[in-house]
Amino acid sequence: MTGTWFPWFARACLLFLLLTFLLSPDWFEPLLSPLAQENAPVIYNQGSLLTLTLLHLRTVAIATAAATVVAVSLAILVTRPFGAEFLPLSRSLVNVGQTFPPVAVLALAVPVLGFGEKPTLVALFLYGLLPIFENTLTGFATLPGPVLEAARGAGMTGRQRLWRVELPLAMPIILAGIRLSVVVSLATATIGSTVAAKTLGEVIIAGLQSNNTAFVLQGGLIVGAVAVLLYDGLSAIERVLARRTGLSQA
């Protein structure tokens, strides 16, 4: 009982501390002041931490949503009889994001798209395709045969089986890929500030430029806390979906 209760208590405390820091960062100045140089600002003062966090999350959400649509659509295509031959090509396409580091993608995208959020979205989109695509393939490959046969026996069309049976059953595994993509994108999005995107990387870069460890710690801790909370929340949704589909006994 205690083992189940404590993690939820710890998560609630982490969420409370994160929200408190974002809304009233000055309250934490005494804790961070030893990390700042004399007469240097302790709390990031070149913008709102709450606004930067929301913009950071928006960038990650847009990129992940686009990657999910493309990756799941490709996985559906290559798992249909008429699209099986495109599997090697699809794998090559989704591996592009892992082949080129995000920094290289940003460097290539800036001359075309300009500075700002767009190059960052491209980098995160490409980087997020692979885990979602591979997990979707795994989800379809591990579907229970008897359930699919029952759906065919009930007279369902291919489209009906996809939307009513295959996708719901594969959703926990697909969501695991989305979770991995989100967590990686949260960390990777910080480099978007090198091309003028409004992310929490702005706080970290400002700290590095001014040799202000307090700034660096603020940006890093916010990203880390958000990543932990999102990872935890998506994991909880996965467990709920797995229980509903009968894939978990927990």
Q: Note the pLDDT tens digit of each residue in 114-162.
A: 888 899 999 999 989 999 999 999 999 888 878 888 888 888 887 888 8
| 61-82 confidence digits (pLDDT tens) | 999 999 999 999 999 999 888 8
Is residue 16 domain-resident?
Answer: no
Res 108: pLDDT: 84
Is residue 250 domain-resident?
Answer: no
pLDDT at 1 exceeding the cut of 60: no
CA 63 to CA 124: how far, in whole Å?
6
CA 61 to CA 186: how far, in whole Å?
9
Res 227: pLDDT: 93
Is residue 3 domain-resident?
Answer: no
Is residue 36 domain-resident?
Answer: no
Is residue 118 domain-resident?
Answer: yes
pLDDT at 250 exceeding the cut of 70: no
Is residue 193 domain-resident?
Answer: yes
Cβ distance 200 to 52 under 8 Å?
yes
Q: Which of 86, 96, 162 is nearest to 126 (CA)?
A: 96
CA 169 to CA 67: how far, in whole Å?
20
Query: DSSP secondary-structure letter at 37?
Result: P
Q: How many domains does the chain have?
A: 1
The CATH number linked to 87 is: 1.10.3720.10
Is residue 209 domain-resident?
Answer: yes
User: What residues make up the domain containing 124?
Assistant: 48-244
Cβ distance 221 to 44 under 8 Å?
no
Which is more confidently placed, 105 or 72?
Answer: 72
The length of the chain, given as a count of residues: 250
Is residue 101 domain-resident?
Answer: yes
